[in-house]
Amino acid sequence: MDSGDNGNSRREQLTEQATEYLKANGLASLTYRKLAYELGVAPNTLEHHFGTKDKLLEQLLERLAEEQRGGLQATLRQEDAGPELVSRYVRAAMVDISNLENEGASQLFFELVGASMREHDLYGEFLSHAMNDWIDFISRFLVERTEVPESRARVVAHLILATIRGIMLSRAMVEASERPLLDEAGDLLGPLLESLIRSESGTP
């Protein structure tokens, strides 16, 4: 294995460790020095592999997003198609959201959204990826698998993403006793969107 491969392997290891740390601890008072201490490395090691702290955060969130997109895609068999896939897609998203192991990732996401609103110059790229990458992903899914026209796919994708993220935010805000109601709301969402997809795609 050459030095480049070694470097990539170390970077991947640090990315995984830093992601788990941030999911558990959030952004509060985060510094490179503190993160390096928790990971058992020197601060300049993180700088070498990631550049600035902001670049590291962007990479960590993109890693989490790629894992989520990959997990959702894996729930849908490649040969399946049709509006009913939207219900399955939403159900899979709701299962992911309600998974207690993912709460840290959800909280970190909204922390970064808040930071982006306050310091757009630093986190604007994160906001762009957090929206555009997901909208592109859902739009392709709609066009390729449900026959929604390209001219409408991004509109419907925005509706789906906004609704699912609204449920994510609500889960972070409500008492634990209210969460089963949000799960029921997620169960209602799938058929509603499926009906919309049938209308948009002209499927009976």
Instruction: State whether 185 and 129 are in the same domain.
Output: yes
Instruction: State whether 39 and 59 are in the same domain.
Output: no
Residue 186: domain span: 53-201
Instruction: State whether 76 and 7 are in the same domain.
Output: no
Q: How confident is the model at residue 150 (pLDDT cuts 50, 70, 90)?
A: very high
The average confidence (pLDDT) of the chain is 81
Q: How far is CA 23 from the centre of its chain?
A: 13
Instruction: State whether 143 and 130 are in the same domain.
Output: yes
Task: From residue 83, give the alpha-carbon distance in Å to each of 44, 148, 187.
Answer: 50, 9, 16
Residue 4 pLDDT greater than 70, yes or no? no
CATH code for the domain of 33: 1.10.10
Tokens of 59: 């990479």
Closest to 119 measured CA to CA, from 34, 27, 50: 27
Closest to 145 measured CA to CA, from 196, 197, 71, 180: 197
Q: Which residue has the higher pLDDT, 129 or 158?
A: 158
Residue 110 pLDDT greater than 90, yes or no? no
Instruction: State whether 13 and 93 are in the same domain.
Output: no
- Residue 91, φ and ψ in degrees, nearest 5: -60, -45
Instruction: State whether 118 and 186 are in the same domain.
Output: yes
Residue 120 pLDDT greater than 80, yes or no? no
Instruction: State whether 45 and 63 are in the same domain.
Output: no
Instruction: State whether 6 and 63 are in the same domain.
Output: no
Give tens-digit pLDDT for 132-146.
888 998 999 899 888
Instruction: State whether 111 and 178 are in the same domain.
Output: yes
What pLDDT score does 28 carry? 67
Instruction: State whether 60 and 122 are in the same domain.
Output: yes
CATH code for the domain of 187: 1.10.357
Give tens-digit pLDDT for 152-172.
999 999 999 999 889 888 988
CB < 8 Å & 24+ apart, contacts of 26-32: 26/104, 26/107, 26/108, 26/111, 27/57, 27/108, 27/111, 27/112, 27/115
Q: How confident is the model at residue 5 (pLDDT cuts 50, 70, 90)?
A: low
Residues in the chain, overall count: 204
Give tens-digit pLDDT for 32-85.
788 888 888 888 888 888 887 777 777 777 777 777 777 777 776 666 778 888
